């Protein structure tokens, strides 16, 4: 249990973070790559779903809005912790 319940924050976060540290060492580079991959996946998923129902232009806007919201949220959260 490592001092806290397994699903206290996000499921499998501890294991993903451990694997990233095994690959990238004791730095936050792996977490930055993981965050970027998840942002890209989220934008692509949004684009795919919206394109099916509303067309290419709306899908492009939805993907851009998804990235803007995620990046703004992540940057404000990181600036509060520093």
Cβ neighbours for 14, distance < 8 A, ≥ 6 positions apart: 2, 6
Q: In the prediction, which pLDDT does 61 show?
A: 93
3-state secondary structure of 16: helix
Query: Which of 16, 58, 8, 15 lies closest to 37, judged by CA?
Result: 16
**Percentage of residues of the chain with pLDDT beyond 90:** 29
29/82: higher pLDDT: 29
Mean pLDDT of 57-81: 78
Note the pLDDT tens digit of each residue in 35-46. 888 888 989 999
What is the DSSP track for 38-77? HHHHHHHHHHHHHHHHH-HHHHHHHHHHHHHHHHHHHHHH
């Amino acid at each position: 249990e490592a001092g806290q319940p397994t699903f206290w924050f996000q499921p499998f976060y501890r294991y993903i973070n451990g694997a990233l540290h095994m690959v990238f060492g004791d730095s936050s580079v792996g977490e930055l790559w993981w965050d970027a991959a998840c942002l890209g996946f989220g934008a692509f998923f949004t684009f795919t779903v919206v394109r099916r129902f509303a067309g290419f232009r709306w899908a492009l806007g939805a993907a851009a809005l998804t990235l803007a919201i995620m990046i703004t949220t992540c940057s404000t959260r990181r600036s509060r912790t520093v």
